[in-house]
């Protein structure tokens, strides 16, 4: 019997492989290569340039943690949010579920959006809501020029190689700061501390140069390299948790506090 596997190489010497039923799509866009697989264990799997972006089965962890955790950690209102990247729509959809009145999603690659609309109708449901505005543009340019002010800005990017490199730069974080309301909050995914310490270092040092409060938190994501992922928050106000919080399938009151408590090797990367 022929077995078909998709493998993500974490390095030249380590890989995680998913057995697949079928490859549904493979397209080279102006920015990147998008592949879509039907796996046996994780439902549909979306990859960009060979790295796992999401699977149907565990995407909730990433999307809950990049939205619910910062939202419930600060007293910001669910008024206006900006998402940079996140063309699958999962982050925007999660923000709408939290009650945000207006979500602007700026994605550079319209084909990521198209694929998600076709194959991940639930995850991309935000794009059919009148509370969500989709803009196909370079996020860096958009944030630089926007006159809007947001309660929260979420950078839901790929790794800091290729098109997302500028999303880990000090000048980008400075533009974000200007596009936030007073006391607003930014959050970015900052990679696997184990395999991509550079991403975490870039994010924390860059955000520190602009914001007075910089907080890294981690979550377990089984289909991302090493199964352990970091996110970094920037704000000018300290943490002030909301009193009433919602639970997700991963997120809860314990995670609201516990995700900020980090292993020694992660602290060392950030120091």
Shortest Cβ distance from residue 40 to its own copies (Å)? 4
Shortest Cβ distance from residue 65 to its own copies (Å)? 10
Known active-site residue 49:
no
Token pair 């696997």 in the structure block, residue = 192
Cβ atoms of 229 and 62 within 8 Å: the answer is: yes
Interacting residue ranges for its own copies, rule: CB under 8 A: 7, 11-19, 39-42, 61, 194, 218-220, 222, 226-228, 247-252, 254-255, 257-265, 267
Shortest Cβ distance from residue 118 to its own copies (Å)? 24
Between the CA atoms of 136, 159, 161 and 5, what dihedral angle is there, to the nearest 10 degrees? -100
- For its own copies, give the closer residue by CB, 18 or 231: 18
- For its own copies, give the closer residue by CB, 20 or 136: 20
Between the CA atoms of 190, 227, 163 and 267, what dihedral angle is there, to the nearest 10 degrees? 20
Catalytic site residue from 79, 156, 159, 236: 156
- For its own copies, give the closer residue by CB, 121 or 227: 227
Strand segments, DSSP code E, in the chain are 5-11, 14-28, 33-39, 44-48, 51-55, 80-85, 102-107, 132-136, 150-156, 180-189, 213-220, 228-235
Shortest Cβ distance from residue 83 to its own copies (Å)? 23
| Distance of alpha carbon 144 from alpha carbon 136, whole angstroms | 15
Shortest Cβ distance from residue 102 to its own copies (Å)? 28
CA-nearest of 265, 270, 259 to 66 is 259
Q: Name the token pair of 58.
A: 């565990």
> What phi and psi, each to the nearest 5 degrees, are found at residue 178?
-70, -25
Mind telling me the catalytic residues? 156
């Amino acid at each position: 019997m022929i077995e078909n596997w998709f493998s993500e190489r974490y390095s030249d010497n380590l890989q995680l492989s998913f057995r697949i039923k079928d490859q549904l799509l493979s397209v080279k866009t102006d920015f990147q290569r998008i592949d879509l697989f039907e796996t046996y264990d994780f439902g549909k799997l979306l990859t960009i340039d060979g790295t796992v972006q999401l699977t149907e089965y565990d995407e909730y962890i990433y999307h809950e943690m990049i939205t619910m955790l910062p939202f419930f950690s600060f007293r910001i209102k669910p008024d206006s949010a900006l998402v940079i990247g996140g063309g699958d729509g999962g982050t925007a959809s999660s923000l709408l579920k939290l009650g945000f009145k207006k979500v602007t999603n700026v994605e550079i690659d319209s084909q990521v959006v198209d694929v998600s609309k076709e194959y991940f109708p639930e995850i991309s449901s935000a794009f059919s809501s009148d509370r969500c505005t989709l803009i196909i543009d370079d996020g860096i340019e958009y944030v630089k020029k926007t006159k809007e002010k947001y309660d929260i800005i979420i950078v839901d990017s790929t790794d800091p190689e290729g098109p997302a490199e500028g999303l880990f730069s000090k000048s980008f974080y400075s533009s974000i700061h200007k596009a936030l309301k007073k006391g607003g909050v930014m959050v970015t995914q900052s990679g696997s501390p184990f395999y991509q310490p550079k991403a975490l270092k870039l994010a924390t040092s860059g955000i520190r140069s602009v914001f007075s409060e910089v907080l890294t938190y981690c979550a377990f994501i089984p289909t991302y390299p090493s199964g352990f992922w970091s996110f970094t928050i920037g704000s000018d106000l300290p943490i002030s948790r909301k009193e009433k919080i919602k639970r997700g399938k991963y997120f809860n009151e314990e995670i609201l506090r516990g995700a900020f408590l980090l292993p020694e090797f992660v602290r060392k990367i950030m120091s």
